Structure 1
Amino acid sequence: MWQMVQTVFGGPEVFEREEAPRPEPGPGEVLLRVVATSVNAADRKVRSGRNDKLGAPPLVLGLDVSGVVVARGAGAARFAVGETVFGMVFGGANAEYVVAHQDRLAAVPAGLDPVTAAALPVAGLTAWQALAAVQPGTRVLVHAAAGGVGHLAVQIAVRRGARVVGTARPEHHGYLRDLGAEDVIDYRAVDFTTAVGEVDLVLETIGDDHTERSLRVLGPDGRVIALEGPVAHRDSRVERFFVEPSTAALDDLAAAVGGGELTVHLAAILPITELAAAHRRGELGGVRGKIVLTAE
């Protein structure tokens, strides 16, 4: 089989296509023929060496996957051979085949295209789980609201009855209001801490000083859900969030998309041969939604 491998940390140019033995699924695992994957911020951080969660090179990246089950390991009875599924893997999806545990996958329903499904797992689960405590009337600030996690978070929060404020570039403001955002702030022209007012929850997707600054806009009992930064923060109002694979949550996300309640915006659909270009585009910033890579 082929795979897109990196043998050193570095820029997008490190990716090379190579031939490798096809993996075999272990207990509870299935072997997928990859249909599509997508690029997440975590992929770019691992590639550059800023995140060591996958270890040292050689590495094959790719956390999101949609694909067709071609073989099953012992005890992997949840999905049939030939069934199309989607979900999370911890690296390896930038390849012709990848092994995934059945508990991190869900079936792609009839109302969801497999290419679109590949954009959902990491970003969708992050937004779905990070906003689990949102109640009707909650005022939520979403940073980078037009991004992969952000545009889904805006919709999920609105769907749960929240009043949503987002930060984004001006070209995305109309789009975010169409998704239901109550207000949108141009973070490059305005200091959000002076423009937002009090909020009950901040979904902090950027890092740097955004977590500290977000503390200034919290109302009584407010919290910051931080996707970046240290595991423990000096301020108890900051909760460091880590996404958890979940078949049940993936089923809920797929049903929401298939039912028209949630829209996944695809900024681009590229062949996997343009993996480096996809990483470069993501690093430039300003991407609306997700960049998806097709393996076929």
Structure 2
Amino acid sequence: MTRDIAILLFDGFQLLDAAGPISVFECALRYRPGAYRLTPLTVDGGAARSSSGIALDSRPLSAMPLSAMPAPDTVLVAGGEGAPSALGCGETLAYLRRCASASRRVVSVCTGAFLLAEAGLLDGRRATTHWAHSGEFSRRYPAVELDTDRIFIRQGNIWTAAGVSAGIDVALALVAEDMGEEIARRCAQRLVVYYRRPGGQSQFSSLLEMQRPDGRFAALLDQVRRSLDGAWDVESLAGFCCLSPRHFSRLFQSEVGMPPAKAVEQLRVEAARAALESGERSIQKVARLCGFGDAERMRRSFLRVLGRPPSSLLRSPADE
């Protein structure tokens, strides 16, 4: 059986939002030829220009009319800079609404979730999008239960994935559902990516918000991240930068936007969170490796930073 996968695009889409999943499905076809038929779609068809300037050829929505032929098995909606303009396209939104009832799956990548929400498909559901757009998303769509730390979320036949490369993660999950875990794992190996990526979006967002690549403390933050079990008190941090503790603390607060001790704590919490979410079951071991010293200190830090204890992140066997 061949499954039709429609990739819904618009001018200004993010190229990797589409190309990442396309590459996963292409890889799956190596193991099961004919399993998928991939069709980029736009409202009018023709060249859809991505934000990078590279265009993909597409067919018009009328080429796959839901009333005249079987609906696509899966509709995948890309995100990108052009998403705000696409929100005002009634034809696109109507197509998505029909697909929600006619297609087996409707999937968004990154800010493609805005289109699903605008079409009313996410009301009362859990969903995710790129962490950098979470504030805007929550303001626009308060009826959606947004979880900005998940790489992807499935709610019934609606799937939402986080930013950009998360399209690869969700596409691997779709392949696993269609063809089994073994083929999905082989695709991940061939593409040299995680089959199940450890951790959530928080492992990327907080450090990126702290660290300016050209900033004074970029090398320091990177060093702390690489050796979280080090004794990173203010004196040690200042010594790494060849500054006095007082002068260092003032400069760090000004550039990074938080005290040095809080920054170190946040990096440790996020590393510990990623370890626990990826399956590590020993809280004491994680506490030691991430520089907390013992489980009780890590618990207090988790409560301060995340509002919940480390034990709440332990994966049960049913999650495996």
- After TM superposition, the score normalised by the length of structure 1 is 0.28
Larger CA Rg, structure 1 vs 2: 2
- After TM superposition, the score normalised by the length of structure 2 is 0.27
Greater RCO structure (CA 8 Å; 6+ sep): 1
**More strand by proportion, 1 or 2?**
1
**More helix by proportion, 1 or 2?**
2
